[in-house]
Amino acid sequence: MKRLSAGAAARLKGIFGERMSVEEEETLLASYDATKKTGMPAAVVWPESTEETAALVKLANEEGFAVVARGAASGLTGGSVPADGSVVADFARMDKILEIDRRNLTALVEPGVVVGELQRQVEKVGLFYPPDPASNEFSTVGGNIAECAGGLRGLKYGVTRDYVLQLEVVTGGGEIIHTGSNTIKSVTGYDLTRLLVGSEGTLAIITKARLKLIPLPEGIATAVAYFRTPHEAGEAVSKMIEERLLPRALEFVDGVTMGIVAKSKGYRFPQGAEALLIIEVDGGKEQVAADIERAVAVAERQGAIAVERAKDKAARDRIWEMRKQLSPSLYAASPDRVNEDICVPRDRIPETLDAVAEIGKRYNLVVCNYAHAGDGNIHVNFLVDTTDSGIMERAEKAVEEVFKLTVSMGGTLSGEHGIGLSKKRFFSLEVAPVEMALMKAMKRVFDPNGVLNPGKIFPDE
Amino acid sequence: MSETTAITVEKEIAKCSKCGKCRSVCPVFIETRSEGMVARGRISLAEALLSGEMRDTAKMRRYLWGCLKCLRCVDACPSGVRFDKIISEARRRVGSRVGMPWFARTAMRLMLPRRWLFDIAVKSAALWEKILPLHREGRIRHLPMLFGDHRSMPELAKKSVLKSFADYYGDENAKRKVALFVGCLGNYAYPEVVTAEIAVLNATGAGVYVPKGQVCCGAAASSLGDEKLLARLERLNEEAFAGLGIEAIIVGCASGGATLKGEYPAITGRENPLGAPVEDFSEYVAKHSEKIKGRFGGQVSWHDPCHLKFVQKVTAPPRELLGKVADYREIEGADYCCGMGGVFSAFFPDISAQIGTRKTDAIRAGGAEVMATGCSGCILQLRDRLAAAGADVKVMHVAEVLAEALEEDSGKDKPGGEESIA
């Protein structure tokens, strides 16, 4: 294990005092994220201010250690898994909602605020922060911005990047900079805010964010439609959008996934259903009642064999609880499953699903998919039975083919999880050498000595 | 450690996907925001400890003992990890290697199975001071019954329940007979709760035994990782409840009920080791509630004890019963932990108080007048925290609310009952 030099450790202690630790318990606790990949840091610090964060990064440049920002460590591609010997900055103590501005519809927050807590607080005053990753009850605003988290409401409301107005960050050079403007419109210079959102902690460390809010919709209506084939469900999605319906969520689940969640959590689905769509609309109360019926009518025209409408909030919560159980159920069924997060133009969902099924067959792998179908974001899973020798190699080849397929469909490697460690070896499938060189040049501008979150995004050389 | 436990715990550890969901429900994490103070972090530490990769240090112990065992994380875990199994095993390991509990454990081993010795010990806080477990955060001056310091302690009853109560209450020929497990706090501190439980159970038509041989349930022993002592207490309780011809054993304390329902079958490998099914007080009464009537004057709210909601999964019965006799008002955060957690509050009085304050803030925001609950530990903590906040909220056991309503009802039939006020 790499350690800090005695001098570096002493200077860190000088900045953070009791809020710095090299104890093996603390470094272990900062070594993982939800990918279960690990890297052992040399020390952990708990910043309480932007100035402390800047001092940390300056010291990193002087002493030559790496700095990795950490929120809830719930990421799915290893974005916050620290490089060996780095210093982890855990933002647990910068967790205040500094302001909710009801006149300008914004919130000013520190990076350690939990997204669900922000949502609850703004909803209390009739406002809405739409980005809604499945991890919202524990993931933090800082992590959501760094990975550009998406979630269930992307179709209608977009993703995290669409709600970040201003950022205060510490660059890799240790400078505190402010990006963006507290206005809806702004074309003063380059849009550094957009560049930083989704940069996975490799350009700068977020210390404050001003987020855009919108009025909380009055009504919500939810229904589940069941289909005989995934293809039919995919067609229903395209038809709804073609008919200018804009549900806030359109979630697709295939039959294999349904079977697994039914088995592990005791859900019962209609006989013969090999795919389902969760449809949720929001808006004015009368509008949602009309919209959900229109959406259901489309589903039925596309061959839905059964439809369930949520009668009240409890029924709606049960539907979403089932949706949230998918990933854990697949994990329980196959802890070593390969789970990808591709995104394709939404009218190509049906053919993508068919092609993924074909790849699964070719490599003799169980495939199951669920998707934020409204925005083309498909979670492709290959279940892996580790007693089957050689299966990992087959799965890896299959994943590579899925990525090639995605790119050929005009899609992208990651809709919302980021590249991190997990996907960096596939990065050049989508990003050509000239763009990659430009990105690396930008990295050098922000972080000349490469101290921030090394080893992420770009393929190993 | 037997091989089977090793395999199970190892399996449970492997089931953790490190998703982080436990961070959203753990009351200790919510106060501390520290990864070592939440199931995911503790599982990582337990893994390193059990595999021998990491040593038992003060820090390790702080994190392993810093769990309330409210078991919200087990209830919420999407991967179904039995964190309770992991933490018990990890605690057993640190417990058996270092000083912590050896003195406390020896004292517990001596006292808990022997009521007479416990009786003496409870009255001498000084003895408890000497068995101070572990390094604790904050100051503890007195440790009567292991709970400490700034807390306003309940006065100890002049005579404990098991010394002063009869063996049986109710009609000798009652069709239904049950036995009451009184619990340590019920026995020493809250005899009035036991009295109310008996009155209500009698009102449902059940005859109630109060077996004198019963001892501590062993929740504290289990928390401290002492399986041997837990097993011994189970055997003594098994003897105490044997041969009574009862249809159920009723427990009015959620933690005791959770231990009897969950840990006893696990440790004995038998479904009903005490010879009859164990039921929570409100669970049983709600099934036989035809004769529960009368009015309790005023508004009542319910606090879900963690060990009732998240372990025993009992939430509806107490609400039904309270709704039947009182103006019931659900408050937001009804199921938020009170922060007591038995031995936790002795080790971490400051965190315990913070959790309790978050709870009492919710109680006050919800405008509760009377908080009813079903766990002696919760009663102790809620009374203490509400008093500290200067809040005028009464805390009662659900049995006391029901007993008051029943009394009011029977008062109606008494001649001159109403006039007597004037």
Residue B137 has pLDDT above 50, yes or no: no
Question: What's the pLDDT at B135?
Answer: 37
How far apart (Å, rounded) are the C-alpha atoms in residues B120 and A270? 64
H or E element at residue B207: strand B206-209
Question: What's the pLDDT at B117?
Answer: 64
Question: What's the pLDDT at B98?
Answer: 40
The percentage of residues in chain A with a pLDDT greater than 90, rounded to a whole number, is 90
Give yes or no: residues A352 and A398 share one domain.
Answer: yes
Q: Is residue A284 part of a domain?
A: yes
pLDDT in tens, A331-349: 888 888 888 999 999 889 9
Contact A25 B14 (CB under 8 A): no
How far apart (Å, rounded) are the C-alpha atoms in residues A159 and A131? 5
Indicate which CATH number applies to the domain containing A143: 3.30.465.10
Q: Is residue A450 part of a domain?
A: no
Sequence spans of domains, chain B? 3-97, 299-409
Q: How sure is the predictor about A119, in pLDDT bands with cuts at 50, 70 and 90?
A: very high
What single-letter amino acid sits at B342? G
Q: Is residue A460 part of a domain?
A: no
Question: What's the pLDDT at B7?
Answer: 58
Both tokens assigned to B108: 């517990």
Residues of A in contact with B45 (CB under 8 A): 25, 28-29
Question: What's the pLDDT at B100?
Answer: 45
> Would an 8 Å CB–CB cutoff place B54 in contact with chain A?
yes
Q: How sure is the predictor about B153, in pLDDT bands with cuts at 50, 70 and 90?
A: low
**DSSP code of residue B246:** -
Residue A58 has pLDDT above 90, yes or no: yes
Residue B167 has pLDDT above 80, yes or no: yes
**Is the separation of the CB atoms in B305 and B374 below 8 Å?**
yes
> Would an 8 Å CB–CB cutoff place B20 in contact with chain A?
yes
Q: Is residue A458 part of a domain?
A: no
Q: What is the mean pLDDT of residues B339-357?
A: 88
Poorest-pLDDT segment among A55-64, A94-103, B362-371, B413-422: B413-422
Both tokens assigned to A176: 């505190």
Question: What's the pLDDT at B141?
Answer: 31
Tally of domains in chain A: 4
**Is the separation of the CB atoms in A198 and A412 below 8 Å?**
no
Give yes or no: residues A117 and A148 share one domain.
Answer: yes
The percentage of residues in chain B with a pLDDT greater than 70, rounded to a whole number, is 81
Q: How sure is the predictor about B2, in pLDDT bands with cuts at 50, 70 and 90?
A: very low
Residue B305 has pLDDT above 80, yes or no: yes
- Those residues of chain A whose CB sits closer than 8 Å to some CB in chain B are 23-26, 28-36, 72-74, 90, 92-93, 95, 112, 114, 116, 135, 137-139, 324-325, 327-329, 331-332, 335
> Would an 8 Å CB–CB cutoff place B17 in contact with chain A?
yes
How far apart (Å, rounded) are the C-alpha atoms in residues A299 and B294? 54
pLDDT in tens, B213-250: 999 999 888 877 778 889 999 999 999 999 999 999 99
Identify the three-state secondary structure at position B188. Answer: helix
Give yes or no: residues A240 and A315 share one domain.
Answer: yes
Residue B163 has pLDDT above 80, yes or no: yes
Residues of A in contact with B79 (CB under 8 A): 328, 331-332
Give yes or no: residues A234 and A296 share one domain.
Answer: yes
Closest CA of chain B from A14, distance in Å:
22
How far apart (Å, rounded) are the C-alpha atoms in residues A281 and B258? 42
- pLDDT mean across residues, chain A: 95
Contact A332 B45 (CB under 8 A): no
Question: What's the pLDDT at B412?
Answer: 59
Interface with B, mutate which of A29, A93, A137, A139 (most B CBs under 10 A) = A29
Q: What is the mean pLDDT of residues A20-33?
A: 98
Q: How sure is the predictor about B130, in pLDDT bands with cuts at 50, 70 and 90?
A: very low
pLDDT in tens, B73-107: 999 998 889 999 899 889 888 764 444 455 565 56
- Phi/psi for A220 (5° steps) reads -135, 140
Give yes or no: residues A223 and A208 share one domain.
Answer: no
Residue B147 has pLDDT above 50, yes or no: no
Question: What's the pLDDT at B126?
Answer: 40
Q: List % helix, strand, coil for chain B (3-state, nearest 5).
A: 55, 10, 40
How far apart (Å, rounded) are the C-alpha atoms in residues B17 and A291? 38
- The dihedral over CA atoms of A145, B27, A87, A151, expressed in degrees to the nearest 10, equals -20
Q: Is residue A366 part of a domain?
A: yes
Give yes or no: residues A10 and A87 share one domain.
Answer: yes
**Is the separation of the CB atoms in B297 and B374 below 8 Å?**
no
How far apart (Å, rounded) are the C-alpha atoms in residues B273 and B270? 5
Residue with tokens 């800047």: A54
Residue A1 has pLDDT above 70, yes or no: no
Q: B211-223 as b/e, with b when 16 or more CB fall inside 10 Å?
A: beebbbbbbbbbb
Residue B127 has pLDDT above 60, yes or no: no
Identify the three-state secondary structure at position B168. Answer: strand
Q: What is the mean pLDDT of residues A412-434?
A: 95
Indicate which CATH number applies to the domain containing A242: 3.30.70.2190
Q: Is residue A364 part of a domain?
A: yes
Residue B175 has pLDDT above 70, yes or no: yes
- pLDDT mean across residues, chain B: 85
Q: How sure is the predictor about A457, in pLDDT bands with cuts at 50, 70 and 90?
A: very high
Q: How sure is the predictor about A76, in pLDDT bands with cuts at 50, 70 and 90?
A: very high
Question: What's the pLDDT at B95?
Answer: 63
Question: What's the pLDDT at B5?
Answer: 55
> Would an 8 Å CB–CB cutoff place B417 in contact with chain A?
no
Q: What is the mean pLDDT of residues A21-44?
A: 96
Interface with B, mutate which of A138, A326, A338 (most B CBs under 10 A) = A138
Contact A34 B17 (CB under 8 A): yes
Question: What's the pLDDT at B185?
Answer: 87
Poorest-pLDDT segment among A122-126, A319-323, A369-373, B159-163: B159-163
Domain containing A69 equals 6-92
Question: What's the pLDDT at B48?
Answer: 97
Residue range B3-97 in CATH 3.40.630.30 = no
Interface confidence, given as ipTM, is 0.94
Both tokens assigned to A379: 């979670």
Poorest-pLDDT segment among A234-238, B22-26, B125-129, B259-263: B125-129
Q: How sure is the predictor about B346, in pLDDT bands with cuts at 50, 70 and 90?
A: confident
Task: Specify which of A182-191, B29-38, B184-193 reaches the highest per-range mean pLDDT.
Answer: B29-38
H or E element at residue B24: none
Closest partner residue to A328 among B23, B54, B78, by Cβ? B78
Residue with tokens 């490469």: A450
Q: What is the mean pLDDT of residues A413-440?
A: 96
What single-letter amino acid sits at A435? E
Interface with B, mutate which of A25, A74, A96, A337 (most B CBs under 10 A) = A25
Identify the three-state secondary structure at position B86. Answer: helix
Question: What's the pLDDT at A132?
Answer: 93
Residue A121 has pLDDT above 50, yes or no: yes
Enter the CATH code of domain B299-409. 3.40.50.10700
